Amino acid sequence: MKLKPLALGLSLALAPLAAFAAEQTVTLSVPGMTCASCPYIVESAISGVDGVQAVETSLESRTATVTFDDAATTVEAITGATLDAGYESSPINES
């Protein structure tokens, strides 16, 4: 029965790590978005990434602004999703 205190102590020790997770926003340049259906395809690809909370695309500026949980995903995973859908992308800024 000594495992219960150990498990409790371990969970309390690891709890502060969750506090470092934060909502992040990145704007991606997606130069391949050239037609009316492109933003929908890019949004769908990005939305499928675990941890993505919101996506807004602009055909006019050829960008995608993504809000995500940095404990659940990375900018690299998001740009990988656009590439898998046929659209290269790269970060313009991160905050």
* pLDDT tens track for 16-58: 545 566 899 999 999 999 999 999 999 999 999 999 999 999 9
Our count of domains for the chain comes to: 1
Closest CA to 55 of 35, 36, 22, 81: 81
Supply the range of the domain harboring residue 53: 23-91
Mean pLDDT taken over the chain: 86
- Domain membership of residue 53 (yes or no) is yes
The pTM is what?
A: 0.76
Q: The CATH number of the domain where 28 resides is what?
A: 3.30.70.100
With 0-12 CB in 10 A as exposed, 13-18 as middle and 19+ as buried, what is 39? buried
What does the alpha-carbon distance between residue 82 and residue 77 come to, in Å, rounded to a whole number? Answer: 9
- Domain membership of residue 73 (yes or no) is yes
Residue-wise pLDDT for 54-86, tens only, equals 999 999 999 999 999 999 999 999 999 999 999
- Domain membership of residue 71 (yes or no) is yes
- Domain membership of residue 3 (yes or no) is no
pLDDT confidence of residue 22: 86
Task: Read off the tokens for 94.
Answer: 């991160």
Q: Is 86 helix (H, G, I), strand (E, B) or coil?
A: coil
